[in-house]
Structure 1
Amino acid sequence: MKGLSIIISLFIIFIICSSWGFFAHKKINEYAVYTLPPTLASFYKKNILLISSKAVDADKRCYIDSLESPRHYIDIDDYNEPSIDSIPIHWTKAKEKYQEKQLLLNGIVPWQISFSYHKLVKAFKFKDIRQIIRHSADLGHYIGDAHVPLHTTKNYNGQLTNQIGIHAFWESRLPEMFVKEYSFIKGPAKFIEDPLHTSWNIVKQSNLLVDSVLALEKQLDKSFSKHQKYSFIERNNLLIRTYSDEYARAYHTALNGMVEKRMASAIQQVGSFWYSAWVEAGQPDLKNLQKVTIDDQPLDINNKKNMGREEL
């Protein structure tokens, strides 16, 4: 019975080191393809399955690269600044003010978006199809991460407010349960004049939502008993405790479309960053590039321990 008690205390969704979970990350990259103009969309549509499946490679690298985890978040409240605007947006100036070690401890997702963007520009210039796909997938992942409010705070899993599990609840349980009710395509991809500034704006918008994400769940908890709040399902021959459908529906309603809006924004921004990288590279003709069907170096995470932080 003791062993069973340990098993059922686990939550259904296990998130590695980034946001949205595997399901939503793949959806974000997939739908971003449909925001692109026809000239660029034809290339991405040919490789949509690979770009979507590789959307989670950045997560998997948390198992093999200790430097990967900080690329997925930024704990704004760890900077002890009067406002987020006090943090220099340029990497060199931020390093001068805080030192690189401190930046890595706090997370670097807005800068990582910029780094990955410029790698994609280079890949487009050289018409390197494998690198285009790799950096498109990674860029989509980091942009998706930046759209999740709990990836902009040190209280990333509600561990400081007795709300452990809220991370996966918000970013995985809700999207998987309500995805059919979401409307994702809000408009076409647009050229981004300043990718770094845009990445910081995404983070700022997410950070403004942190208090609501936590407060709404905290308030909801008061009106549900433990029996009503949780339910049990079988997954891989294990009995797992997760948030009940009733509780998830109530939180979904209380959030008033927040998850859908952040996911839809992520989709449009991913498409816009891809499009902008292509334009900055000189709009290379990609028509004759072959479709990639095999991943040369699939990431195997079986029996490996996550080297970054984990959220249950």
Structure 2
Amino acid sequence: MKSITLLLASFVLFSFSFNVFAWGRRGHAIVCQTAAYLASQDQPQKEEPYFLKVHSFDLGYYCNVPDIIWKRPATYKLETSNHFMDLEPFDKKFDAKTIFADSSPYRMSRVEFDEKHKDLPEKYGRSWWRIQELDKKLSEVTEKLKKGELKGDDLKTAQAEWLMLAGVIGHYIGDLAMPLHVSENYDGQMTDQKGIHDYFEEALVDELFLQSHLSLQESVYKRAISLWKAYEKKAKGKDLLTLAIELSKDSQNNVDRMLKIDKKQGRKSLKKSAQNYRELIVDRLAKGALLQAQMMSSHLGWEFDGKKFYNFIETPAYIEAPKSSLPKK
């Protein structure tokens, strides 16, 4: 039964296709799988975080759910703004000093923000809210598991839900690690570089992934490992929103770098382009994995029961965001 389920998951993950994916399917999977190894790297097999490594495949699948399942026609319009933050209009309105304050407008609920800041409609993105909303749901599941009262099927169901929620949050975190997901110039349309979005996050990632000598997944892991201890120290005491904003700003600082490489290199040779973009792609995927690992680590503190645990949620039900009374723009 387990092998059939995993086979189905593999088929959906690598066969289903949409026109645009943030990082493509392989990139998102790398973010969550790398994070699973980061969060459990130094732990003995019987210790708590080890289950993340065991279920890293599952997390890689769930990390793609917001694209391969939740962007299907029935929920596409509801979902699409959750995948990006066009920082320019937000930066113009809000002073940089207020971003991380307790009174930050980004700490408002989505509905409250929509009502109060009508000049920043959802077309500019709502990724930071999506992450906070799903993190709250994951916290609720974590608290149930920490109580240690769940048994049998109820425990297995909760564990599967935990993995699913952790994985889908990882998708939105991965989005924020991609420079064009935090820019109005999301497809190079403002600099006469249209098409760079898909070229960068999918074509180049696929090229690097398939060339064994470039070792994309291994390179991302090595980069993330080299940064992990310092990142843990830096992240201590910071909540998920703060870390998500920091990741977004770091990505924003790499937009010009990406565009300059494109103008200099062009897109005639995918193989040559992959070499020129490799360092940037590895760094961005690793940065996404760092935050994902930190997020998952913050939701531990309970004992995972892996005995006969075959639960896998092939098609997670869509989790709709809180609704605003405002008409969509």
Q: Per the alignment, do residues 246 and 36 of structure 1 end up closer, same or farther by CA in structure 2, a change over 3 Å counting?
A: closer
Q: Which residue of 2 aligns with 1:115?
A: 133
Q: Which residue of 2 aligns with 1:125?
A: 143
**TM-score, length of structure 2 as denominator length:** 0.70
1:31 aligns with 2:34: yes
Comparing 262-271 and 145-154, the one that deviates more:
262-271
Q: Which residue of 2 aligns with 1:197?
A: 242
**Cα displacement (A) at 1:136:** 0.9
Q: Give the counterpart letter for 1:102 in structure 2.
A: L
1:264 aligns with 2:286: yes
Q: Which residue of 1 aligns with 2:198?
A: 168
Q: Which residue of 1 aligns with 2:54?
A: 46
Q: Distance in 1 between matches of 2:33 and 2:183?
A: 28
**TM-score, length of structure 1 as denominator length:** 0.73
Q: Decide whether the 8 Å contact of 1:73 with 1:108 is kept in 2.
A: yes
Q: Which residue of 2 aligns with 1:58?
A: 66
Q: Per the alignment, do residues 158 and 105 of structure 1 end up closer, same or farther by CA in structure 2, a change over 3 Å counting?
A: same
Q: CA RMSD in A?
A: 2.9
Q: Distance in 2 between matches of 1:173 and 1:84?
A: 37
Q: Distance in 1 between matches of 2:20 and 2:95?
A: 23
Higher helix fraction (1 or 2): 2
**Cα displacement (A) at 1:264:** 1.0
Runs of 5+ unmatched residues, structure 1: 1-13, 222-228, 231-243, 300-312
Comparing 187-196 and 54-63, the one that deviates more:
187-196
**Cα displacement (A) at 1:75:** 0.8
Q: Decide whether the 8 Å contact of 1:28 with 1:267 is kept in 2.
A: yes
- Identical-residue share of aligned pairs (%): 21
1:153 aligns with 2:173: no
**Cα displacement (A) at 1:271:** 1.0
Q: Which residue of 2 aligns with 1:10?
A: none
Q: Decide whether the 8 Å contact of 1:114 with 1:195 is kept in 2.
A: yes
Q: Per the alignment, do residues 16 and 203 of structure 1 end up closer, same or farther by CA in structure 2, a change over 3 Å counting?
A: farther
Q: Distance in 2 between matches of 1:211 and 1:272?
A: 28
Comparing 86-95 and 163-172, the one that deviates more:
86-95
Q: Give the counterpart letter for 1:248 in structure 2.
A: S
1:143 aligns with 2:173: yes
Q: Which residue of 2 aligns with 1:308?
A: none
Q: Decide whether the 8 Å contact of 1:28 with 1:263 is kept in 2.
A: yes
Q: Give the counterpart letter for 2:303 in structure 1.
A: D
**Cα displacement (A) at 1:116:** 1.9
Q: Per the alignment, do residues 51 and 122 of structure 1 end up closer, same or farther by CA in structure 2, a change over 3 Å counting?
A: same
Q: Distance in 2 between matches of 1:35 and 1:261?
A: 15
**Cα displacement (A) at 1:268:** 1.8
Q: Distance in 1 between matches of 2:175 and 2:163?
A: 18
**Cα displacement (A) at 1:67:** 1.6
Structure 1 moving runs of 4+ over 6 Å: none
1:284 aligns with 2:311: no
